[in-house]
Structure 1
Amino acid sequence: MGQSNVKLEGIYPILATPFTATGEVDESSLRELVKFQLHAKVDGIALFGMASEMYTLLDDEKARIAEIVVDEVKGQVPLVFGSGHTGLEVAVQLSKRAEQAGADALMVLPPYMAKPDGKRLYDYFAAIAKAVDIPIMIQDAPLASGVNMPAALLARLSKDFENIAYVKVEAPPTTLKVTEVLEQSEGRLTVFGGMNGLYFYEELGRGAVGTMPACEFPEVCVAIYQAFKSGDVETARRTFYQYLPFMRIGTLPGYAMSIHKEVLRMGGVIESAYVRNPNAPIDERIRQEALDTLKDLDLLALRWNEVKALRV
């Protein structure tokens, strides 16, 4: 069971789901990926987000992934499980299961197939909040879900349900929405950024407490966050803008998942960059474009084989 009193802040990468070259869940790569995150000193790990290709995973695969990650993390950092669904009943059931499987908090997308009106949205999040004891993070990601959630609705939910305590703001421009959510919720809601860290530096300046990016550059986000937190805003700013082109290419529609995985594969974090349909596999041109953004920069993922060799 998760801890209901956990306080989330800092860097919570969305764990990719490594597959074998034939498309099965690759358990040993998954364990290595978790070791990589912990080595990078992440503050927590998120499972079953968009960047986990969660919409392609079978129920028993999800259960096994959760088991492996819980076993590998051993309580060192909190775990946030994505548990949203296109319908209320399934979302409630997934949320209860996640809590039982060891989630410390939930990240919940709104229903995204039939677009809900305000009342349906409220009822959906209310039902989940009543069903679990752990904190809930509402994922405000209209580009992915097609559902816009007004700050006033988020504020009302946080007022009515104590465990609705977080929002992951991915509604562009995220900076303005961060300010709006913090002001309207009168401090009840804590805000994380998303969108692969594209506005992370500005979000921190507006009161966000962390970000939940893809998982191939955790140490970069940790460095930005730690510098900002310690008052060295200049280092935070400089580091952010150095890596921004790399973050941007990691949001390429259709190819984002295979870009994240190819970087992890190249340095030996995972074995294969296989992605499941409807994601498209990386091609040589995109691979080169991604690597171009890293010229003169140091990325832990690309030298993981050396780090691994020292660990043995």
Structure 2
Amino acid sequence: MALFKGAGVAIVTPFNENNEVNYEKLGELIDFQIANGTDSIIICGTTGEASTLTHEEHLECIKYTVEKVNKRVPVIAGTGSNCTNTAIYLSKEAESYGVDGLLIVTPYYNKATQKGLIAHYTAIANSVSLPIIMYNVPGRTGCNMLPQTVASLVKNVDNIVGIKEASGNIAQVAEIMNLTEGNIDLYSGCDEMIVPVLSLGGIGVISVLSNVAPQETHDMVEKYLEGDLVTSKDLQLKFIPLINALFCEVNPIPVKAALNLMGFEVGNPRMPLTNMEPANLERLRNELNKCNIKTV
């Protein structure tokens, strides 16, 4: 059984004025998401600024999310690292808190060969009993996990069950599904490609867009899976300009700005990320308003 089908939100990590994690606000965001149809909470991913959280903050965010969600939807923890031992440590801790699954990004900066990727993921998977979704995002990591590598891991490691594919290469997604014979839980990692990925056998998205439009992102997937391809396609196309605005600067700069425009007061991103350029902020506000998302 898949960890989830539908739209999982790659939730932001809110900070207060002192740049500390604002757990009360995180709880508010979680409740907003669940009330508006989100199918899973993904905590401490790229959008959650995991790279600038201390290990203590990282783990506390995961623990808090598990307790706050309280089994209402699945919780998936981002516990990847470019150090295999660190990823194992974070994954084992997250398992002890009661998460439902793990999202493991490919190693970044030091990268890895395809052989190294197999060794990395196998070691992490063997350290826990939780289902694992691999995360391929070469634009950020400089490391592309090839379809043959994905297929090898899925076939040979029992608890590696899925992939968040954010290469932006639809031919690569098709080859993954071909080589795995569809025996993988495929999630789009690109909001602009939700429907194309679903058309190849995907079962959902791990989404930035869901932070600001949870119900509509959920509906986009649900309608497709129900066979209402026209409504799903129309939602995809409707949100393309907003998706483009959400990625006109490095994620999560725009999505945190969008949530602030919506009145959520999630704070600023941590350095080295900085606040959004005024012209881009105005563009973002306009696109939110065009999608009937209220701003303050």
Assess same fold via TM > 0.5.
yes
How far did residue 17 of structure 1 move? 0.3
Alignment of 1:175-190 (within 5 A): 175-190=170-185
Moved more, 198-207 or 6-15: 6-15
Q: Distance in 2 between matches of 1:284 and 1:66?
A: 33
Number of residue equivalences: 294
| Superposed CA offset, 1:8-34 (max 9, x none) | 221111110000122111111111100
Alignment of 1:1-312 (within 5 A): 7-173=3-169, 175-195=170-190, 197-214=191-208, 215-254=211-250, 256-268=251-263, 270-299=264-293, 302=294
CA RMSD in angstroms comes to 1.6
Task: Work out the percentage of aligned pairs sharing the same amino acid.
Answer: 25
Q: Is the 8 A contact 1:6 1:78 kept in 2?
A: no
Unaligned runs of 5+ in 2: none
How far did residue 193 of structure 1 move? 0.4
Q: Distance in 1 between matches of 2:239 and 2:2?
A: 30
Moved more, 122-131 or 186-195: 186-195
2:260 counterpart letter in structure 1 = R
Q: Is the 8 A contact 1:178 1:207 kept in 2?
A: no
Q: Distance in 2 between matches of 1:252 and 1:296?
A: 17
Closer/same/farther in 2, CA of residues 142 and 117 from structure 1, 3 Å limit: same
How far did residue 60 of structure 1 move? 1.6
| Superposed CA offset, 1:106-140 (max 9, x none) | 11112212121122111111101111111111101
Moved more, 6-15 or 199-208: 6-15
How far did residue 186 of structure 1 move? 1.7
How far did residue 63 of structure 1 move? 2.3
Indicate the SS of the match to 2:252. helix
Q: Distance in 2 between matches of 1:169 and 1:36?
A: 26
2:81 counterpart letter in structure 1 = H
Q: Distance in 2 between matches of 1:61 and 1:7?
A: 25
| Superposed CA offset, 1:254-296 (max 9, x none) | 3x3232112212223x324311011121232211111222343
| Superposed CA offset, 1:121-176 (max 9, x none) | 11111101111111111101111111011101110111111111101111122x22
Unaligned runs of 5+ in 1: 306-312
Q: Is the 8 A contact 2:101 2:130 kept in 1?
A: yes
Q: Distance in 1 between matches of 2:71 and 2:113?
A: 38
Q: Distance in 2 between matches of 1:6 and 1:237?
A: 24
